[in-house]
């Protein structure tokens, strides 16, 4: 072993012994270790004397008891099922655990008849102490007595709680909840309750270094300033306060939230630049018709800016989505009602989650539609007295109402009307530009909505009657030409003459002034209105709870006939309006087939009759108002068909067509190109046939 090796070993030993010397426990640390060992020995000794049924595994240390006594002496603890106070150093109270109340002295003596409840109580106390430690200056507000305040106007009633300083209930005073057919008959339905303490959670979180101050954990000091305003103030210690002032805007469904603060820079670091906003809600069922309610519920949101889009998470299954875009509002939307959180400024991106309750998978399926949550943030400065302003909209998805709330955002269109499902762009234009104004105008007369739907359908049929008449005239011309078309078919029976037969047929149409597509085009032009109405009726909250004839609610299926079993797609009931619509549709199909210009294959005829039966399965779960509209529309179409037959003399049509045929007609550019293409194709076919014959 050389000199360098020996020197190295000596230096390494010196480093190790030096490290051990420098890191040896101090006298205070040794004393703490001895104390802990002594407490453990005492605990084991006490446990050995206990009966088998009294043995508990967990316990609180003397340091825990000292801290608990200090906190309870400063302010009685009343939070999370724990109520403890200290008078002259003596603790009293209880801890709730596993459905039992454990006396604090019993907990301190490490004795209990139920070890599981005892240990659960110890864990609850430790979690409470940990929460107090983490919340430092905010700790004094972790316990308190909950107070509730109520704000109401003619439309909305809101309950506010000092625990969390948030909304614990929002009730729509003019709308009733319908969960079953009996609710219509009993007339005892309660008002629609959009949120309550069990299904709604909202709060602000300030993340400061390793700590997160969540307003939902604290007790605020509440003060009602007037009939429409309540101020909730959180005492953050060191003279700092965080205040949320709620104002119920008169005559609206809007609750304003002004968030202000004073002295928060004394307790919050200056490098904190974001205030987190957390909101979760279980979307409650409000309607009898589950199918359409599930299809039209979900988490909706709008990107900030005049051109910002309104989008939503998928209504089916579970969906998570993260965005970095500036957001204007988020909404928990059901078929007819929405809760919307709106920022006066903007939210900084968001994490959004949606869980769809499914039958057989979730216990709460019959109570809730979706479980929705949003985690977002807004700009924040601890030294700025004004934190931000927000609005909560608790109200109906009513187009006229939602369009009036743009005044709360003068810099951009909130586009809250997008919460009313009115279909894609073309159909939405028809609904917003024609259907809704006419529907609201008719509704102003105070008539029954069944009568209003009837009048609306008649008006639409009158407006579309020129197209209907033109379609019928085109069909009449095609019927008149049937003998001539039949003669052409007999004259050119061979397949190789198909092109020539087609040319002669087109020439016949041109000379007679008939168009084989003339009957289809007017019908196609009417389709957008039919589809627009398909979206309008199930989304019209005006029809909700409105009865007509046997239907108790025009916005829900009129499930009068109950089935002892459930049929896929059809369900466990039959809707009378849907059944009548199906029968009327079959009659209309029969009448329409009688007036067809050409014979059809037997299979095609059966297909024509099969379509109305498919509509029975499709519409049986839909709003009875929609089925009623289609029934009336089909009935009026049948009447129009017979009226056209009365006023259209086919002999005169034949005579007019004969006169038109004698007149010279200039070929259109399209017809000329079509005939030229047919001529070239015919030449190619003849050439191909000659080659085949030579072979």
Overall average pLDDT of the 635-661 stretch: 70
Which pair of structure tokens corresponds to residue 223? 């003060």
Question: Residue 53: pLDDT above 60?
Answer: no
195 pLDDT band, cuts 50/70/90, is: very high
In terms of C-beta density within 10 A (0-12 exposed, 13-18 middle, 19 or more buried), how is residue 470 classed?
middle
Helix axes 62-74, 115-134, angle to 10 degrees: 60
Q: How many CA atoms lie within 13 A of 630 on its CB side?
A: 32
Q: How many CB atoms lie within 10 A of CB 410?
A: 6
Q: What angle do CA 121, 123, 129 make, to 5 degrees?
A: 105
pLDDT bin (cut points 50, 70, 90) of residue 30 is: low
3 state SS of 537: helix
- Cα torsion 61, 65, 71, 73 to 10°: value is -170
Evaluate whether 157 touches 173 at the Cβ level (below 8 Å).
yes
Alpha carbon distance 272, 270 (integer Å):
5
What angle, rounded to 10 degrees, do the helices at 669-694 and 498-512 form? 160
Residue 502 and residue 495 in contact, taking contact as beta carbons nearer than 8 Å:
no
Specify the CATH architecture of the domain 148-421.
Distorted Sandwich (2.70)
pLDDT band at 49 (very low <50, low <70, confident <90, very high): very low
> What pLDDT, on a 0 to 100 scale, did the predictor assign at position 26?
56
Sheet containing 82-87: which strands, arranged edge to edge? Answer: 77-79, 82-87, 90-97, 100-103
Name the band, by pLDDT with cuts 50, 70 and 90, for residue 677.
low
Q: How far apart are CA 617 and CA 631, in angstroms?
A: 15
Asked whether residue 61 carries a pLDDT value surpassing 50, the answer given is yes
**pLDDT at residue 555, as a whole number:** 87
State the Cα–Cα distance between residues 307 and 310, nearest whole angstrom. 10
Nearest to 119 by CA among 143, 42, 127: 127
* Per-residue confidence (pLDDT) for residue 508, from 0 to 100: 67
Average pLDDT over residues 166-174: 94
Does residue 567 register a pLDDT over 90? no
Rg (CA), the chain: 38
| pLDDT number for residue 363 | 85
Model pLDDT for residues 314-368, shown as the tens digit of each residue = 878 899 999 999 999 999 999 999 999 999 999 999 999 999 998 878 888 888 9
**Exposed, middle or buried, 471 (CB in 10 Å: 0-12/13-18/19+)?**
buried
Q: What is the pLDDT of residues 448-462, one digit of tens each?
A: 999 999 999 999 888
Residue 18 structure tokens:
């030096």
Query: Residue 597: what pLDDT?
Result: 47
Lowest mean pLDDT among 167-181, 215-229, 480-494, 650-664: 650-664
* Mean pLDDT, residues 237-259: 93
* Residue 268 dihedral angles phi and psi, to the nearest 5°: -115, 135
Contact 73, 84 (CB under 8 A): no
pLDDT score of 497 more than 60: yes
More confident call, 341 vs 485: 341
Buried b (16+ CB within 10 A) or exposed e, 599-631: eeeeeeeeebeeebeebbeebbbbbbbbbbbbb
Q: How far apart are CA 272 and CA 215, in angstroms?
A: 16
What is residue 514's three-state secondary structure?
Answer: coil
Residue 396: strand pairing partners = 337
| pLDDT of 214 above 70 | yes
pLDDT of residue 112: 59
Spell out the alpha helix ranges (H) of 84-202. Answer: 104-108, 115-134, 181-186
Handedness of CA 666, 669, 672, 678 (dihedral sign): negative
Rounded to whole angstroms, the Cα distance separating 89 from 279 reads: 41
The pLDDT value recorded for residue 339 is 96
| Mean pLDDT score, 506-531 | 69
Give pLDDT, residue 32.
52
Q: Are 397 and 414 in contact (CB under 8 A)?
A: no
Which two structure tokens, joined as six digits, stand for 519? 């009957």
- Predicted confidence (pLDDT) at residue 489 exceeds the cutoff of 60: yes
Q: How confident is the model at residue 46, as a pLDDT? A: 45
The tens digit of pLDDT for each residue in 261-296 reads: 999 988 888 889 999 999 999 999 888 877 788 888
User: What pLDDT shows up at residue 6?
Assistant: 59
Does residue 606 have a pLDDT over 70? no
Task: Flag the least confident range among 151-155, 625-629, 653-657.
Answer: 653-657
Average pLDDT over residues 528-538: 89
Alpha-carbon distance of 658 to 438, in angstroms, equals 44
Q: Which of 122-126, 256-260, 444-448 has the lowest mean pLDDT?
A: 122-126
User: Looking at residue 16, what is its pLDDT?
Assistant: 47
Confidence of residue 47 (pLDDT cuts 50, 70, 90): very low
Residue 153 confidence class, pLDDT cut points 50, 70, 90 = very high
Least trusted range by pLDDT, from 234-238, 340-344, 426-430? 234-238
Q: What are phi and psi of 633, to 5 degrees?
A: -60, -45
For residues 399-424, average pLDDT: 89
If we measure between CA atoms, which residue out of 488, 507, 478, 499 comes closest to residue 671?
507
131: pLDDT strictly greater than 90? no
**Whole-number pLDDT of residue 638:** 86
Percent of the chain with pLDDT over 90: 34
Kindly report, residue by residue over 475-484, the tens digit of the pLDDT.
666 666 677 7
469, 644 Cβ separation under 8 angstroms: yes
Highest mean pLDDT among 47-51, 126-130, 169-173: 169-173
Q: What is the mean pLDDT of residues 38-60?
A: 51
Structure tokens at 395: 């109200």
In this model, does residue 525 exceed pLDDT 80?
Answer: no
CA atoms in the 13 A half-sphere facing the CB of 41: 6
Range among 2-6, 248-252, 421-425, 528-532 with highest mean pLDDT value: 248-252
**Distance between CA atoms of residues 470 and 477, nearest Å:** 11
- Domain locations along the chain: 54-134, 148-421, 443-657
- pLDDT of 672 reads 62
**Residue appearing with tokens 């000199």:** 3
pLDDT given for residue 541 in this prediction: 93
At residue 111, the pLDDT reads 60
Residue 129 or residue 331, greater confidence: 331
Phi-psi region of 98 (alpha: psi -120 to 50; beta: other; left: phi over 0): left
* Mean model confidence pLDDT for the chain: 80
Question: Mean pLDDT over residues 59-67, rounded?
Answer: 74
Task: Over range 12-23, report the average pLDDT.
Answer: 52
DSSP code per residue over 520-536: HHHHHHHHHHHHHHHHH
């Amino acid at each position: 072993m050389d000199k360098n090796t020996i020197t190295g070993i000596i230096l390494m030993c010196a480093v190790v012994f030096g490290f051990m010397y420098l890191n040896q426990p101090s006298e205070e640390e040794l004393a703490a270790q001895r104390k802990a060992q002594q407490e453990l020995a005492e605990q084991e000794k006490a446990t050995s004397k206990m009966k088998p049924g009294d043995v508990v595994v967990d316990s609180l240390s003397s340091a825990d008891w000292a801290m608990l006594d200090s906190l309870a002496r400063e302010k009685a603890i009343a939070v999370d099922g724990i109520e403890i106070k200290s008078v002259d150093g003596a603790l009293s109270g209880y801890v709730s655990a596993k459905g039992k109340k454990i006396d604090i002295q019993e907990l301190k003596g490490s004795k209990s008849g139920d070890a599981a409840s005892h240990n659960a109580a110890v864990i609850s106390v430790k979690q409470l102490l940990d929460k107090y430690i983490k919340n430092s200056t905010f700790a004094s507000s972790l316990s308190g007595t909950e107070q509730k305040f109520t704000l109401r106007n003619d439309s909305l009633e809101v309950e506010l709680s000092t625990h969390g300083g948030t909304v614990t209930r929002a009730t729509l005073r003019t709308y009733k909840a319908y969960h079953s057919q009996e609710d219509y008959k009993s007339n005892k339905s309660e008002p629609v309750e959009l949120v309550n303490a069990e299904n709604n959670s909202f709060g602000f979180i300030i993340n400061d270094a390793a700590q997160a101050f969540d307003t939902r954990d604290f007790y605020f000091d509440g003060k009602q300033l007037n009939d429409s305003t309540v101020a909730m103030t959180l005492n953050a210690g060191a003279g700092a306060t965080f205040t949320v002032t709620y104002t119920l805007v008169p005559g609206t469904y809007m609750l304003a939230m002004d968030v202000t603060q004073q002295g928060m820079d004394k307790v919050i670091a200056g490098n904190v630049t974001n205030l987190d906003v957390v909101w979760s809600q279980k979307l409650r069922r409000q309607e009898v018709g589950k199918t359409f309610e599930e299809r039209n519920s979900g988490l909706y949101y709008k990107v900030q800016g005049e051109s910002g889009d309104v989008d939503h998470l998928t209504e089916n299954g579970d969906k998570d989505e993260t965005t970095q875009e500036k957001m204007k509002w988020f909404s928990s939307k059901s078929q007819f009602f929405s809760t919307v959180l709106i920022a006066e400024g903007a939210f900084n991106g968001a994490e959004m989650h949606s869980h769809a309750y499914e039958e057989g998978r979730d216990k709460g399926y019959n109570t809730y539609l979706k479980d929705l949550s949003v985690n977002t943030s807004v700009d924040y400065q601890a030294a700025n007295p004004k934190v931000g302003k927000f609005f909560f909209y608790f109200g109906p998805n009513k187009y006229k109402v939602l369009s009036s709330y743009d005044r709360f955002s003068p810099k951009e269109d909130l586009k809250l009307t997008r919460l009313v499902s009115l279909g894609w762009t073309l159909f939405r234009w028809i609904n917003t530009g024609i259907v809704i104004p006419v529907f609201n105008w008719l509704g102003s007369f105070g008539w029954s909505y069944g009568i209003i739907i009837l009048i609306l359908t008649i008006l639409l049929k009158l407006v579309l009657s020129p197209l209907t008449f033109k379609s019928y005239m085109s069909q009449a011309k095609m019927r008149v030409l049937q003998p001539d078309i039949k003669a052409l078919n007999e004259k050119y029976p061979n397949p190789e003459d198909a092109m020539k037969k087609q040319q002669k047929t087109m020439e016949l149409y041109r000379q007679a002034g008939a168009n084989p597509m003339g009957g289809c085009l007017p019908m196609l032009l009417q389709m957008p209105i039919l589809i627009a109405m398909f979206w309008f009726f199930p989304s019209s909250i005006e029809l909700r709870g409105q009865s007509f004839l046997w239907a108790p609610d025009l916005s829900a299926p009129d499930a009068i006939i109950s089935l002892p079993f459930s049929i896929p797609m059809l369900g466990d009931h039959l809707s009378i309006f849907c059944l009548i619509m199906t029968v009327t549709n079959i009659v209309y199909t029969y009448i329409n087939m009688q007036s067809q210009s050409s014979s059809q294959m037997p299979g095609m005829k059966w297909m024509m009759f099969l379509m109305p039966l498919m509509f029975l399965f499709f519409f049986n779960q839909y709003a009875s108002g929609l089925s009623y509209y289609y029934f009336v529309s089909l009935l009026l179409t049948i009447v129009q068909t017979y009226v056209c037959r009365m006023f259209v003399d086919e002999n005169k049509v034949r005579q007019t067509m004969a006169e038109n045929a004698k007149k010279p007609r200039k070929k259109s550019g399209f017809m000329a190109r079509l005939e030229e293409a047919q001529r070239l194709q015919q030449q190619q076919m003849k050439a191909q046939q000659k080659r085949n014959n030579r072979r």
